[in-house]
Amino acid sequence: MKSYKIEWGPYSLELGNKTRIMGIVNVTPDSFSDGGFFFDPDAAADQGQKLAEDGADILDIGGESTRPFSEEVSAEEEIRRVVPVIERLSERVSIPISIDTTKTVVARHAIEAGASIINDTSAFRFDNELPDVAVKYGVPVILMHMKGTPKNMQVSPEYYDLFSDIREFLLDAVNRAVGRGIERSKIIVDPGIGFGKTIEHNLLLIRHIDKFTDLDVPLLIGPSRKAFIRKILKSKAGDEPKPRDPAVETGTQAAVAAAVLAGAHIVRVHDVANTVSTLKIIDEIRKA
């Protein structure tokens, strides 16, 4: 696995020898896994601090659900949700905080509140001014593949060629980012597990994430508690386990292990403590 080093402001993130963990804090009433649990700013900040103490290398704060068929929220509401959480966390943790948003104004307010990474699930397709914010503040960006929008991405997703289609999308996203002035050394890509993908698509992407290594940027993957895991684990009666069911977390750890063995540099998860244990073993196997 190729190693990378991202340096910006007071932060330095080495990727390759040790798999890095991005801990998820959803400040939403409707996210598929933990919507409503951390909608209160104090509860969200407490959760973020716990994830940092559990071993997260990055905290990802999001104020808008991107679950399938979700509705967009206004920038004003998204700012109201995330900024108080980021302000609290920036005083309590020393690891970088990522803002999960597709909107320029949200990213700007979040960075001014203490965030230092932009995680854009649209790869700059929804807001043409967002790259300018990344350049102005000199922060890394995460560019994700999504087929369509959250509202329609799971309506019969099809690909001419899964890997070549997603690779071309990500290559175009990287080139557009560089063209707008973002340093290539500050770009991370994500193939977008669950974002316009069938169960088979997701499994293939996890197993063969190494097919994107020639993009020559770090690879992030986010399988945590996704629907494909719950569907695979459904009972004989056809009932799917809930996102926070222990069986789903076990399934998440299996997906994390497979993705890292295949070449992922960063994993985005809800349960950091379990992931730390998984990666201690997987990283040693990978290096053996």
For 112-170, the DSSP string reads HHT--EEEETTTTSS-TTHHHHHHHHT--EEEE--SS-TTTTTSS---SSHHHHHHHHH
Q: Is the Cα dihedral 32, 158, 131, 177 positive or negative? A: positive
CATH number at residue 193: 3.20.20.20
Token pair listed for 123 = 């790869």
- Catalytic residue, chosen from 167, 225, 230, 268, is 268
In tens digits, what is the pLDDT along the chain, a chain of 288 residues? 899 999 999 999 999 999 999 999 999 875 545 544 667 899 999 999 999 999 999 999 999 977 666 578 899 999 999 999 999 999 999 999 999 999 999 999 999 999 999 999 999 999 999 999 999 999 999 999 998 777 665 667 889 999 999 999 999 999 999 999 999 999 999 999 999 999 999 999 999 999 999 999 999 999 999 999 999 999 888 899 999 999 999 999 999 999 999 999 999 999 999 999 999 999 999 999
Q: CA 219 to CA 191: how far, in whole Å? A: 8
What is the span of the domain harbouring residue 125? Answer: 18-287
- Catalytic residue, chosen from 226, 230, 280, 287, is 226
pTM: 0.94
Q: CA 63 to CA 151: how far, in whole Å? A: 16
Domain count, the chain: 1
Residue 67 appears among annotated catalytic residues = no
Is residue 201 situated within a structural domain? Answer: yes
Residue 226 appears among annotated catalytic residues = yes
Is residue 2 situated within a structural domain? Answer: no
Is residue 68 situated within a structural domain? Answer: yes
Is residue 1 situated within a structural domain? Answer: no
Q: CA 141 to CA 120: how far, in whole Å? A: 7
